[in-house]
Structures are given as structure tokens and as C-alpha cells.
Structure 1
Amino acid sequence: MIVHILLSFLFILLITALLFFIFLFFIPSLKDQNVNTSSLVFSRLEENVLTGIKEPEMEKARYIAVIKTKKTADTQNFIYKGIQDCSIYFETFEKGGIYSSSCIGFGSCIKSCSRNAIIIRNNMAEITPFCDGCGECLSSCPKKLISLVDRNKISEETSNNRGKLFKLLLKCYKILGQDRA
């Protein structure tokens, strides 16, 4: 019983000494050496969202990046085990006669985006609402699938498409409703 109490006390003392060392010596010495001690888990943009800091350039962005892709990539019919880089992939396989006009999802554009506004979903690059239209990603795509488009035109096209869909559904409803009468 006394041994358990003594071991528990020593364990607590060891943990206290470790925390004391980390917070009193280790972290201040890293800051003195100009080592980045910010979160390695969250990006700068995610940290700003979590802390409630609003970035003004997001509201002022006139352009947004758009990726011209097909629903499914035509390069997924074979296995590629090389370096996961779009430029290397296209250089290798276009010389071999395999041509692709869609995104392959290796994420070279992600590495070039400082806003972390590009994600890979279903093996295809996708622009998120965090895009501010800076254009850093344009040169990273070897097939030039990324372009900048006026943000207002995107919202107009989306609303026009919704209107067309609503009219189509309304016509279908009327046709199906007449059959029941």
C-alpha cells in the first residue's frame, strides 16, 4: 500500500517536473530561436476561423478559381504508382500516348494555394469557398484546368440553373398530377 502511494507521488512529481520544464524553459527557448510554435494541425485560415478573426480580403474577392473537370477522370483505368505530382504524371504518360483532359487529383494545386482553398474529393481537385481568387494555383496545373472567373457570374449561373431546375420539376409535377386526375 505504501509502495503504491510512493509510486503515485513520484509519478505526479515527474509529470509536474516535465510540465514545468516544457512551459518554463522549452517553449520560451523555441520562441527565442524564432521557431514557429503555432499549431501544426490547423492552417492559418482555419485558426482565424476558430478564433473569430475575419479576413477582409475574402469579402473583397472579385474572382474565384474554377477547375474544368469531367465527372470522372479518364485516367483512372490503370494504376499509377509513381511520384504523386501532376507535372511528372502528365509528362510521363502523355509521352507514352495516354492522354487525359481531366484532373487526376494528385494535388499539385493544393501545394501552391496559400489559402488552403483546394481539396481533393473523389480523386479530383475541388475549389472551396475559401478561394479569394489570388491565382497562385493557375501555374501549378500542367493541363491548365484552373482558371479565374468573376465571382458574380458564378452566382448568376447558379441561380439561373436553379430556376431552370425548378421549372423542369414544376412541369414534371403538372404532368404527373394530370395522370392521377
Structure 2
Amino acid sequence: MGLLLGAAITLVILGMVFGIGLAIASDKFAVKVDPRIDSINEVLPGANCGACGQPGCSGFAQAVVEGKAPVAGCTVGQADVARLVANVMGVKFENRERVISVVMCHARGVKDKFVYHGIKDCRAANIVAGGFLGCDYGCLGLGTCVEACKFEAMYMGEDNLPKVIEERCTGCGRCAAVCPRKIISILPESKMVHVRCKSLDKGAVAKKICQDSCIACKQCEKICPYDAIHVQNNLAVIDYNKCTSCGKCIEVCPNHTIINFARERSLTRHILTI
């Protein structure tokens, strides 16, 4: 009996010693969590899309606190969320213009080079002989960008090209990232003039392939009063830091390659309300 009692007392004493030791170790080696991380997490949209370059919203919150990410790094939340994050960090936030996705391709009248029976994915189709589309630079129309959008901000139009629903677009860039032909750009919403072509073929060749292709005529370059558009590698390219969306280049484009995005935006809104 005495032996059992002694063993029990010994176990109790050992338990107390180990308990105190664990408590001391827990306090000494505890990882201190900055409360600002939780505060930032609470104001983030919770999309966990990774567009900020961090592993989800929690990773972004930690990166901001550690000075490894800017307060305006959440592309989904954009200015509203950036302002809240800045308040948590106690810094001043300078408002930046909202950005949206823009599909830089019309691809009208383009014929297929061959019949594709593979996986319905633009990346997979692009691997097979450089893609089935007659234009080596145009949209393949399999909707990979639409599938990648977490915000239901894109849909495939009747012309078999992806359309952006501006009101839902967060400018996260997921659609642009999955496009194998890099025809989707993330641009400020105030920029209304776009060259809807990515072909680097010479004008005569491009014209035979697509009705709306850039033929590198340089008419746009000559008329632009702001030196904002230049033909590079057979393709007109706009410098959006200089472009004022005046539309003069649209007027002289013989192939209607340069468009006013405001008109397409209105058309998209009209279709969605029908």
C-alpha cells in the first residue's frame, strides 16, 4: 500500500515539474503574432486568389506587416481595401485607378488550320502544332480564361471570344496568366482606346488571315498628337502613360483594328440586361 502511495505521489510531483517546464518553454519559445495581421485579414475580401503574389489572404496580410508587400497589393479589393489596410498599418494611402481585364483580339473571319479534338483548354490546344487557329497570335476561343475567373466576370460571346463584365472584374490577372497567347491585358479602366490585335505578321499576311488585323500602316502613329502609339514588329502598340483616349487613331485605322472600348462596354452591359 505504501509503495503504491509513494509511486502515486512521485507521479504527481513529476507531472507538476513537467507541467511547469512546459509552461515555461511555451512562454519562452512562443511565436509572437503581430495583431495587425489579424486586423488586415479581417478587411481583405477572402478570395485567396493569389493575385497579390502571396499564398492567399493570410500570406498577404503577413507580408504587408513584414514590409514585403505594399498596402495596395490586393488587386481584388483595389482602392477600398487598400485604404483599410493602410489605416491598420498607420500609413498614408494614395488612391490608384481601378484596373480591369481587356481582351486584345477580334479574330474575325479567321479559319482553322485543322480540326482540334483534344482537351478543351487553350493551353493544351496551343501545344498541338502551335494551335489550330489560322492566326498564330489570336484567341483560341476555348474559354480557359473564363474558367480561371473566380468572380464570374467573363463569359464566351457568340463570336467565340471571351467578354469581360467590367462591374465584376477585379483586375486580379488570373485570366491573363492562363492565356497561352498573352492576349489579355490588365489596364486602367479610364483607358478607352485599344489595339485589338496581337499579330506580328507583316501587313499583307495578317490581312489575309484576319479581317481586323493590324497591317502596320502607321497611319495611327502619324496622326497621334501625343506620340502615344508606334508600330513595333508589325504591330501598333499604345503607350498608356501618354494616351489620352482622344480617338484620332481610331478614325484613321483602315482595318478597324483600333477600337473605342467604351462602345464595347456599353454593348456588354446591354447583352447582360437582356
Q: Specify which structure has the higher proportion of helix.
A: 1
Larger Rg: 2
- TM-score, normalised to structure 2's length? 0.33
TM-score by length of 1: 0.49
